[in-house]
Amino acid sequence: MIPIRQIQANLLVPGQYQEVDNSLAGTQEDIKKVLLIGYKTSAGSATEGVPVQVGTDTQAAALCGSGSDAALMAAAFLAINKVEQLWILPLAEPASGTKWSIAITITGTATEAGTIDLSINGTALSIGVSSGDSAASIAAALGAGINSETTLSVEAAATDAVVTISALVKGVLGNHNSVSISAQAAGVSVSTGTPTSGTGTVDISDALAALGEVRYHYLALAFDDTANSNKVAAELESRYGAMRQIGGRAFIALSGALGSASTSGSLLSQAQGINNPHILLIPRGNNPGLPCVWAAAWCAAACRILADDPAANTYDTQVNGIIAEMEFAINDRQRLLEAGIATYRRDTAGTVLIERLVTSYTENSDGARDTSYLDVQVVETVDAVRTYINREARKRFKTWKLSSTGENFGSSAKVMSTGVFRSFLAELYSEVFIKEKQWCQDFEQYLKSIRVEVKAGSKTRLEYSHEPMLIGQFYIGTGLLQFK
């Protein structure tokens, strides 16, 4: 029976009638959304805690405030990736706490023209000095020069011969700011005081809950503290679960020395507190550039590859816009990977290249080493396979009936049975997941794994299990060269 629904069966008026059904047309691709989570300043017009879509760095600066974590992340992302749909979740600074700050003291009078050179978070500035300039006038020029750079996460205030550089917002994130300065003018010297640490963190629980059921495929966080990282991890676990199925992956940059798992504040110690297949830890280490910029840049580069193909190999993907002054030795990279931290290399020009993008999941609930979610491609592909099956099933089998027996209802009948669904899974696996997408392999073994049944006592629920074998990543080649 042909499933005509719009044309009445007892129609008597002569004519040719055709209804249009688009349920079998179109593709299964969707627009990938990226969410950047970071602080805004009071100058930004965006509503705190409400996601807002952005298309340019200028727009992000207006919404979140120039120099804010959120604006800097958007600029870093858009410099690499303008394909994915970009959203920002702007958050207010901590209600209580202090700002990071550092005082720079200028002494002497310039006896000839020169410059004051400084670097703030990897951004170089050069302030001109004229012969005869006093310490106070040089300090004023230095403060004005810093404040004129709208892409900096700091502001400056000059009092007499002292310039105080402060973070734009309160909180511990400001402690990642770095300043180096030198005087290149005869008669002038500069000295930096001991930084005053920023204090205070924001609880992002309410902001995460307010995201609702909108799917964000990739996230980048300015925050790197364990408490907020684990709140994001819990939210992503919930989103990945069977009742929501809106999974996503989050990028977080860790700062500090490699250290060991028992060294407080080290990369290995920080990673130990995460252990989640949806959290990707990026080893900023002690390199220039803020952690939020590192997280956004890695997210932009990696998701551009994974959005098109969740099983794609990300090896040697360029991450532009960040500076890595050093490359971890091979033994240290092995330790990073074992701890659930991604690794990178540098090319001859110093460009950061993704080496291996692993998840932070390293141990199962029993504390045993577990590599089931080692590479990000695993969880990305599992998510993609599930999403594809669900969408295709909804498209093909909408309004179908369900039979628990094996009768032949006719080729055009819209009746689901265990055999029909088994054939459906087999077709997708062979034609889409293997031949078209190259997400999976071993069709014969997959066929043996499929189990489909109508739940006992139910006339509405079909249950099935299957075991896709995911494609792998060609990362390592080993050989033995024996010569004579």
Mean pLDDT of the region 411-437: 95
Share of the chain above pLDDT 90, in %: 90
Looking at residue 1, its pLDDT comes to: 60
pLDDT tens, residue by residue, 337-358: 999 999 999 999 899 999 999 9
Q: Sorting pLDDT into bands at 50, 70 and 90, what band is 27?
A: low
Give residue-wise pLDDT tens across range 174-213: 999 999 999 999 999 999 999 999 999 999 999 999 999 9
Amino acid residing at 415 = V
The answer to whether 223 and 173 have CB atoms below 8 angstroms apart is: yes
Report the C-alpha gap between 181 and 189 in whole angstroms.
Answer: 10
Indicate the pLDDT class of residue 116, thresholds 50, 70 and 90: very high
Q: Would you tell me the crossing angle of helices 291-306 and 69-78 to the nearest 10 degrees?
A: 40
Per-residue pLDDT tens over the stretch 442-475: 999 999 999 999 999 999 999 999 999 999 999 9
Phi, psi of 59 (to 5 degrees): -65, -40
Residue 24 has pLDDT above 80, yes or no: no
Tell me the pLDDT tens digit for each residue of 377-403. 999 999 999 999 999 999 999 999 999
In what helix (H) or strand (E) does residue 163 lie, and over which residues does it extend? strand 162-167
Residue 117 has pLDDT above 90, yes or no: yes
pLDDT(214) > 70 = yes
> Which tokens in the block code for residue 90?
């702007």
Choose among 392, 467, 375: nearest CA to 436.
Answer: 392
Q: Is 90 helix (H, G, I), strand (E, B) or coil?
A: strand
The answer to whether the beta carbons of residues 277 and 361 sit under 8 Å apart is yes
Q: CA-to-CA distance for 54 and 85, rounded, in angstroms? A: 8
CB 70 within 8 A of CB 90: yes
Nearest alpha carbon to residue 289 among 124, 113, 418, 461: 124
The whole-number pLDDT of residue 26 equals: 64
Whether 298 and 317 have beta carbons less than 8 Å apart is answered as no
pLDDT tens digit string along 57-104? 999 999 999 999 999 999 999 999 999 999 999 999 999 999 999 999
Q: Which residue, among 425, 391, 380, 421, has the nearest Cα to 27 in the 3D structure? A: 391
DSSP letters spanning 394-420 = HHHHTT-EE-SS-----TT--EE-HHH
- CA 361 to centroid of chain Cα atoms: 16
Q: What are phi and psi of 123, to 5 degrees?
A: -90, 120
Closest CA to 94 of 56, 46, 40, 135: 40
What pLDDT does residue 377 have? 98
- Judge whether residue 407 has pLDDT over 90: no
* Digit-coded pLDDT (tens) for 46-69: 999 999 999 999 999 999 999 999
Distance CA 294, CA 317 (A): 14
What's the CA gap between 340 and 371, in Å, rounded?
A: 10
The answer to whether residues 291 and 39 touch, using CB atoms and an 8 Å cutoff, is no
Domain boundaries, the chain: 33-92+202-378, 101-192, 399-470
Q: For the chain, what is the mean pLDDT?
A: 95
Q: Is the pLDDT of residue 413 over 80?
A: yes
Q: What is the pLDDT of residues 155-166, one digit of tens each?
A: 999 999 999 999
Contacts of 480 (CB under 8 A, 6+ apart): none
All residues at 6 or more sequence positions from 411 whose CB lies less than 8 Å from its CB, including other chains: none
Question: What pLDDT sits at residue 371?
Answer: 96
Confidence class of residue 324 from pLDDT cuts 50, 70 and 90?
A: very high
Q: Which two tokens stand for residue 410?
A: 């006719």
DSSP single-letter state for residue 186: T
Segments in 226-288 forming alpha helices (H):
226-240, 267-272
CB 324, CB 353: distance < 8 Å: no
